[in-house]
Amino acid sequence: MMALDLNLLRVFDALMETRSVTRAARQLGLTQPAVSHALARLRRVMDDPLFLRQQSGLQPTARAEEIAGGVRRGLAQFQAALAPTAFEPARADRTFTLAASPYFCHLMVPALVAHVRQVAPGVSLRIVPSGEAVVTLLDHGTADLALGAAMSLPERIVVEPFYEEQMVWIAAPDNPVVTQRLPLAAIDPAARITITPGGPAPLPGFPAGIGATAQADLGDWRTTPTVPSRITVYESQTAVALVARTDLVARVSARIAAPAVARGDVVVLDGVDEEVRIPIALIWHARQRADQGLAWLRATIRAL
């Protein structure tokens, strides 16, 4: 077998992520011919096509799928081994990948991006959907950090308590449930908006994913209407906008609802159901304990 150099492994990892020679070249700062040449060398070394051209892009072979996780972990370990022990944000040149649902993208990511641009101009942030299994994301190094509900996960995954999110029912001010002070039981289940996160699969150990399948992003997975909702949306901000303009109701996080409540677009229905609080956590892999850059990122998120 020919000797493999690190650059070939980097090309393989980029092709697995992008499924495109063009996008892999852009990501690596190489030319397309250079990536094609590296792929040809990889095929000779591995004695396998590795990627097959399809209309949707490059499709990895079974052999490529088999080695992908090990290659990514090896690259991450190599990078960590060569990384300096001290992390200086102002001088750092690094990319962090954060797995987050629309809830976190709306509430936290803008402040994080603004802060990072100010104090660490050489640091890049990649925000990826959190629909894939969080354990797989972290095991493979596809994400450096995830934000989600604090649930039981394997010991190698660190679940660091962050805060608690309160879930509230909301309705428009002129909704009969508000003007007539109707109990929740009187609300037609079909008038309750269902909010379901996108993505191919729920996260293991989470209530149907980092989002929820009942009434809201990070919503109450314990209270599912007996009659299916007629309105289903992808994220909580859409639900808030719908509630403000219709006779529908929804259960959303108090933080997501707060701006609309302050404007008078919606009101919180007090005492209509048992209080639900969702514990939120920073979720990361135990192998990253010594990574000063990721320690800085976690501390930055907590502070913000």
Q: What pLDDT is attached to residue 204? A: 35
Cβ–Cβ under 8 Å, residues 209 and 131: yes
Calpha distance 150→172 (Å, rounded): 31
Span 220-276, pLDDT tens digits:
333 333 344 578 877 788 899 999 999 899 999 999 999 999 999 999 987 666 778
Identify the helix (H) or strand (E) that includes residue 168: strand 157-171
Q: Considering only 105-109, 206-210, 280-284, 298-302, which range has the smallest mean pLDDT? A: 206-210
Q: How confident is the model at residue 75 (pLDDT cuts 50, 70, 90)?
A: confident
For 173, residues 6+ apart whose C-beta sits below 8 A from its C-beta are 264, 266, 267
Q: What percent of the chain has pLDDT over 70?
A: 85
Domains, the chain: 6-82 (1.10.10.10), 89-161+280-303 (3.40.190.10), 165-274 (3.40.190.10)
Q: What percent of the chain has pLDDT over 90?
A: 40
Span 134-162, pLDDT tens digits:
888 888 888 999 998 887 888 888 999 88
Q: Strand, helix or coil at 134?
A: helix
